[in-house]
Amino acid sequence: MGKEDGRSQLRIQEYLDDVSDLDIPHSFSQWYQIDVASLLNGSRIKGHEIDPVTGSSLIFLDRSAMLCSPEGGRIQHYPKQLLHCFVDDNRSKPTDAGGIIMRAELFSISPNEEQLCWECCCMSELEVPEIQSKVSRWLRWLNE
């Protein structure tokens, strides 16, 4: 096993470990550990994000992203060239956005029922650096 293969396996295991830490139904965990894990075998993960509320996850690969939604058992694949990043910074504006001071979205240009809409937002100035860091990772990945 080469150095890059070892790193890829480590990233896959880190992803699966993060998923196993979620407070989600057992059937969702099984879906991740069996179906998603087998699909990732041999893949090169660049990074991942997990939504602890829904149990969904976004996996960043070399030239694409995969959205895994355990509730519907859906795995959707998005080519990198169809993805875009949007940031709405409301810190200098009156809080007319429902109290959200910063919102970032990674989204796709694809058919309506297949669109990616991975979003994060914050309502506190203390959370802004976390959103900025996340957007920085998204942009770094998009521009690789």
Q: What is the pLDDT of residues 48-65, one digit of tens each?
A: 999 999 999 999 999 999
pLDDT for res 111: 67
The pTM of this model reads 0.87
Domain residues for the domain of 51 are 3-142
Give how many domains the chain has, as a whole number: 1
Name the token pair of 54: 């829904």
Q: What is the pLDDT of residues 61-116, one digit of tens each?
A: 999 999 999 999 999 999 999 999 999 998 887 666 578 899 999 999 876 667 89
Position 41 confidence tier, pLDDT thresholds 50, 70, 90 = confident
Give first-to-last CA distance, the chain, whole Å. 25
Q: Distance between CA atoms of 24 and 46, rounded to whole angstroms?
A: 24
Q: Which strands form 74-79's sheet, in the order they lie side by side?
A: 45-50, 57-61, 64-69, 74-79
